[in-house]
Amino acid sequence: MDLSGKVALVTGGAVRVGRAIALGLAGAGVHLALHYHRSASAAQEVVVEARRMGIEAVALPADLAYMEQAQALARAAERHFGRVDIIIHSASPFIRASLLETTPDLWRQVMGVLVDGFFIIARELTPGMVRRGEGSLVVILDRGTVDPWPDFLAHSVGKSALWALARNLAVELAPHVRVNGIVPGPVLPPPDYSEEEQARVAQGTLLERWGCPQDVVDALLYLLRADYITGEVLFVDGGERWAHRRPRRNCQTGG
């Protein structure tokens, strides 16, 4: 896919990793329907920055836990630009809660954003892509997609379900629309992470360090341009998923 002049809907695009994704797409010449939930002024800043880069951008609010808002978001993006070629689903509540801490409301909210929101947006926008013969969807996952993560039960199950949905769409929407996923590892610590926690997380990767949002952007731009890849998931995690397999003693360094 030649990205220049395409239109992307980026969910959760106002802050942190989503912001880096939005500006990375703008840097590649992609026009932006920039979704936000609570971060209205941050979204406006991204729009201003994108416009400075010569990109057409609009900020669109929605609480994706509500299907009707997800539908209105998709329709507003298509109305504004006349079409949407790319969907990046990055919006994601990140709430620590075990089984008994997960209230039915919390469960519904997390599943709503991660799964229902993407389902509705894809349902609204992919028929146009199929008609035009081109489209690309990328879901932003995390390690909960492949490993149980009971401290973040709804989040972990929601990400797994999101990847299941994406894989199904890759099959259903082929050959015109490609659907892929990215599993970032630790690329940007939550604001409340202590230095000790950050160091512990870094040691939990093979590369023994945090990545950065640009690592995710680079992977995303690769997937969007890689016309022979669909139904695939790309790990950008410093080897986090294999770190538990490290030998206790490093045989090569003797350390």
Ligand X SMILES: NC(=O)c1ccc[n+]([C@@H]2O[C@H](COP(=O)([O-])OP(=O)(O)OC[C@H]3O[C@@H](n4cnc5c(N)ncnc54)[C@H](OP(=O)(O)O)[C@@H]3O)[C@@H](O)[C@H]2O)c1
Q: Is 116 in the site for ligand X (CB under 6 A)?
A: no
Give the single-character DSSP code of 90: -
Give me the least distance between CB of 184 and ligand X, in Å please.
4
Q: Is 84 in the site for ligand X (CB under 6 A)?
A: no
Considering only residues 16 to 45 of the shown chain, the ones binding ligand X according to CB under 6 A are: 16-18, 36-39
Q: Among the candidate windows 50-58, 59-67, 146-154, 171-179, which touches ligand X by CB under 6 A?
A: 59-67
Q: Is 93 in the site for ligand X (CB under 6 A)?
A: yes
Query: Could you tell me how many helices (H) and strands (E) the chain has, helices first?
Result: 8, 7
Q: How far is CA 19 from CA 7, 100, 215, in A?
A: 16, 33, 13
Q: Is 184 in the site for ligand X (CB under 6 A)?
A: yes
> Which residue from 46, 186, 235, 238 is in contact with ligand X, where contact means CB under 6 A?
186
Q: What angle do CA 47, 184, 124 make, to 5 degrees?
A: 55
Pairing of strands 135-140, 177-184: parallel
Q: Is 181 in the site for ligand X (CB under 6 A)?
A: no
Give me the least distance between CB of 165 and ligand X, in Å please.
14
Considering only residues 217 to 246 of the shown chain, the ones binding ligand X according to CB under 6 A are: none
Distance CA 235, CA 138 (A): 13
Question: Cα 15 from chain centroid?
Answer: 12
> Which residue from 65, 86, 166, 220 is in contact with ligand X, where contact means CB under 6 A?
65
Based on CB atoms, which residue is closest to ligand X, 111 or 173? 111
Binding site for ligand X (CB under 6 A): 12, 14-18, 36-39, 63-65, 90-94, 113, 140, 142, 184, 186-188
